[in-house]
Each structure stands twice: as structure tokens, then as C-alpha cells.
Amino acid sequence: MNKRDIGKLLAIAAVLALAVMLIGRIDSAQSREETEIVRDAVKNAALTCYAVEGAYPDSVEYLRKNYQLAYDEERYFITYEAFASNRLPDIYVTEKGARLP
């Protein structure tokens, strides 16, 4: 192998490394967007419950049973902190196995 061939191999390796990094960033951004979609679904179900019943529900399970909230339970962990029936609960959605920033 001569220097020209080594230079070509290094250039190809650099392009491949860059492609892998970009794919990782795209995947990470998509994952964040999907997590936000789940959070919005929980929030919208809670708001619908409040509009219909005049109170926010105590749990996500209530929203699942009565307001058809559906999400991948094996993929997401939802923290739903209800503290008053007239205040929107704090809603946090985390993808299971995801690293926190």
C-alpha cells in the first residue's frame, strides 16, 4: 500500500464515522419527539377528563380505562403527579433504558 491508498482509506473511515454519528443524532432526536408525543397524549387525555368530569384524574390508569389513552408500556415510564383535582398534574415521560441528559 502506498500513501495515496492509505489517504483514501482514512478519508473513507472518516466519512463512515461521520455517518454513524449523524445517524445516532437523528435517532436521538426522533426518540425525544416520540417521548413528547406520549407526554402530549397523556396531557390531552387529562384535559379531556377535566372538561368532561370537572376534575383531573388521579392516575394514568384512569385515563387508560376511561379515555382510551394508549402508549407502549414496555417502552415508556410515565410519572403522573396529581395533587389537586382542579390543577393539571405534573406529567413526566421517560423512555425506559434511556440515559438522562
The per-residue pLDDT for range 41-100, each reduced to its tens digit, is: 999 999 999 999 999 999 999 999 999 999 999 999 999 999 999 999 999 999 987 665
Report the distance separating Cα 57 and Cα 53, nearest Å.
9
Closest CA to 61 of 48, 76, 36, 78: 78
Q: Is residue 101 part of a domain?
A: no
What's the pLDDT at 21?
73
Report the distance separating Cα 35 and Cα 31, nearest Å.
6
Under the banding of pLDDT at 50, 70 and 90, the label for residue 6 is confident
As for how many domains the chain has, the answer is 1
What's the pLDDT at 98?
64
Q: Is residue 100 part of a domain?
A: no
> Which residue range is the domain that position 35 belongs to?
3-95
* Its pTM surpasses 0.85: no
Report the distance separating Cα 8 and Cα 67, nearest Å.
59
77 DSSP β-pair partners = 94
Q: Which three cell numbers stand for residue 90?
A: 405534573
Q: Is residue 52 part of a domain?
A: yes
More confident: 20 or 98: 20
Q: Is residue 87 part of a domain?
A: yes
